[in-house]
Copies of this chain bind each other. A is one copy, B any other.
Amino acid sequence: MIRFNNDYNHTAHEKVLQAVMDTGTGSYGGYGEDEWCRKASDYIKNLVSCPEAAVYFLPGATQANFIVCAAALRPIESVICADSGHIFGHEAGSVENTGHKLIALPQREGKITAEQIAEEAAAYYDHGEKEYLTVPRMVYISFSTEWGTIYSKKEMQDISAVCRKYGMYLFVDGARMGYGLGAAENDMTLQDFAGLTDVFYIGGTKCGAMFGEALIVVNRDLQKGFRSYMKQNGAVLAKGWLLGLQFYTLLQEDLYFEITRQADVLAVHIREAFQAKGIPLYVESPTNQQFVLLTDDQMKQLEKNYIFEYMMKTPDGRNCVRFCTGWNTTREEADRLICDIAAL
């Protein structure tokens, strides 16, 4: 059985594993106060061309998401997101648990638009303070999205402009940042993210690391006391060097970007195999997640050799499923799947 069910079913890239192994005999300062975190932080600040940013390494993405909200928002402030957003439906109410309302806008292909956001913001801000409403103070989007799509630079600029107009923070969940940047049609760069957002992250867990997300806090107001928020919510790893080291290793010689781009390439090949077979896509994704509509028979056939993720039954009785490549997916694995698709 070959796993195409997600992009976090392998431990880590071999270079990361080796780097961790190599620390076996050393000793380090605790809680992220070590040379690897410093080196990785400096490297990332340079990479995103933002020396005034602060970089924090957190073990996981759910932590990054709710801790940013907890640190940035006062109790009466709320977060605008897509109704497909990870924080809205996949994190057990973690943001509401910190006390904040989510305002979920209807997504299209996993995305929301600057127009939608502007309308929601205007409804609050353009009519005087209303004490019975929460204050929309942050916009949360994902790059790439839960449906594998990406925002163009123009779309990001428009969203950023709305946020700045209304004084709302823009937060980009980058759990799949590598796959988003690696898409053939992508025109965003990490520098663009640093320029357009207040806070975003470069995901490690799904992009070659054992675990870890590199959170880049551009807005200085959000940097204040941030490590205390991490500690308060259990996100300061005792052996923090494990996080810094992994990112430092992955970012050398563009390894991070190569392995995720390669996953995108394989995913698009797989998509094309489905399309060649006349199997409809649920959404047209340029990244490592591909969503297709299979008949029961097709699904049964593919389940013999592959593990993939069941999403839902569509009204017409088809099965929406996800095939997901990862940094670990080999050309051989993809080719074998492509053959089997052709043989359906």
Q: Interface of A with B (CB < 8 Å)?
A: 3, 6, 8-12, 14, 17, 20-21, 23-24, 26-31, 59-63, 66-67, 70-71, 74-76, 78, 89-94, 96-102, 129, 131-135, 205-206, 210-211, 225, 227-239, 241-242, 328
Query: Closest residue to A245 on the B side, CB-wise?
Result: B11
Q: Find chain B residues with CB under 8 A from A3 CB.
A: 27
Given contacts A27-B328, A75-B229, A94-B231, 11 further A-B contacts (CB under 8 A): A61-B238, A62-B234, A63-B234, A66-B234, A74-B225, A75-B97, A90-B132, A93-B100, A205-B238, A211-B239, A234-B234
Q: Which of B11, B17, B99, B210 contacts A97 (CB 8 A)?
A: B99
> A11 vs B8: C-alpha distance in the bound complex, in angstroms?
22
Determine if A134 and B93 form an interchain contact, defined as CB atoms under 8 angstroms apart.
yes
> A129 vs B226: C-alpha distance in the bound complex, in angstroms?
11
Count identical subunits in the complex: 4
Query: Closest residue to A104 on the B side, CB-wise?
Result: B104
- A238 with B60, Cβ < 8 A, contacts A12-B24, A17-B24, A29-B9 known: yes
Which 7 A-B residue pairings sit nearest by Cβ, starting from the closest? A63-B234, A131-B227, A92-B232, A93-B101, A62-B234, A93-B134, A76-B228
Determine if A231 and B8 form an interchain contact, defined as CB atoms under 8 angstroms apart.
no
Determine if A94 and B234 form an interchain contact, defined as CB atoms under 8 angstroms apart.
yes
Determine if A93 and B74 form an interchain contact, defined as CB atoms under 8 angstroms apart.
no
Determine if B27 and A10 form an interchain contact, defined as CB atoms under 8 angstroms apart.
yes
Q: Find chain B residues with CB under 8 A from A31 CB.
A: 131
Determine if A91 and B232 form an interchain contact, defined as CB atoms under 8 angstroms apart.
yes
Query: Closest residue to A74 on the B side, CB-wise?
Result: B225
Q: Find chain B residues with CB under 8 A from A75 CB.
A: 70-71, 93, 97-98, 229, 232
Q: Which of B9, B24, B96 contacts A100 (CB 8 A)?
A: B96
Q: Find chain B residues with CB under 8 A from A97 CB.
A: 75, 99-100, 232-233
Determine if A8 and B238 form an interchain contact, defined as CB atoms under 8 angstroms apart.
yes
Q: Which of B6, B62, B99 contacts A96 (CB 8 A)?
A: B99
Query: Closest residue to A72 on the B side, CB-wise?
Result: B74
> A92 vs B133: C-alpha distance in the bound complex, in angstroms?
4
